[in-house]
Structure 1
């Protein structure tokens, strides 16, 4: 009997949660929330579009809100792309491949991605690869040099760096 009571309580909580999510905001409120959402952090158009649909907006309203936010400069895809590239490279130490994939998932145009990636300083890029390689090399406990090199290169590839750049840095610094 206790099990049945606990089960019913859980289901009631789930129903209440889904009811809360289905509340549809009016256009004016959705616009104000969207402005706040975009002012807090740079957003892509797709992120905002998803959020507006989550708030129960219809497609006509969503597109109108997005175009209004673009006109008022709350939403700027180019600015978002630059901030994303800069943040992922400088803070998370991601390579260009991983950054490109992240932006593609957010439906950013390829030309905009390429332009933003050109903003990464090549020397700083190689220095980041070296820093990550040295840090990782110290943690790999492998006696066989080939296996150690394989693990190191695999790690850097997983971080999104290009194979040519990895090999160039490792050879130049005696880690290959």
Structure 2
């Protein structure tokens, strides 16, 4: 096993959490394939440089807190990164339900406020709904919050 490549791969993983697939692609860029690449990945896992559960938790928590993504979008992104269902479920535990509802409510209130020049309330509501769906929030949660806000404001 090439120690220079091994050190480079370890540094790549130390910089930021990675998936096995990301490391495999990077190794291919460095012209490392097959058994040698798999040995390096196995070493990185053994030495805890590479941990997909840790990656998924950091990814889910970060995307929720920073970008305010909903669970559906986070799950879709994790699935695209070839994470298992088990790892996705573990990652979703990084998003507390109370915080999730609070964030969704804040996003809805902000969007409705931003659209206040739109005279037709139904259009404002529809645009707000579509915005939250695009961020990965579940439609039933969005509708529930919209209904609660309507009651509160009437």
Q: How does 1:76-115 map to 2 (within 5 A)?
A: 76-115=51-90
Matches of residues 43-82 of structure 1 in structure 2 within 5 Å? 43-82=18-57
Task: List alignment gaps of at least 5 residues for structure 1.
Answer: 1-25
The answer to whether the 8 A contact 1:45-1:66 is kept is yes
Tell me if structure 1 keeps the 8 A contact 2:18–2:55.
yes
Cα RMSD after superposing both structures:
1.3
- Residue 165 of structure 1 pairs with residue 141 of structure 2: yes
Relative to the length of structure 1, the TM-score reads: 0.81
**TM-fit CA distance, 1:118:** 2.8
Q: Which residue of 2 aligns with 1:151?
A: 127
**Relative contact order (alpha carbons < 8 A, sep ≥ 6): 1 or 2 greater?**
2
Q: Distance in 1 between matches of 2:148 and 2:98?
A: 13
Structure 2 regions of 5+ residues with no counterpart?
A: none
TM normalised by structure 2 equals 0.93
| Partner SS for 2:94 | coil
**Structure possessing the higher radius of gyration over alpha carbons:** 1
The 4+ residue runs of structure 1 with deviation greater than 6 A are: none
Q: Match of 1:123, SS?
A: helix
Give the paired residue count: 150
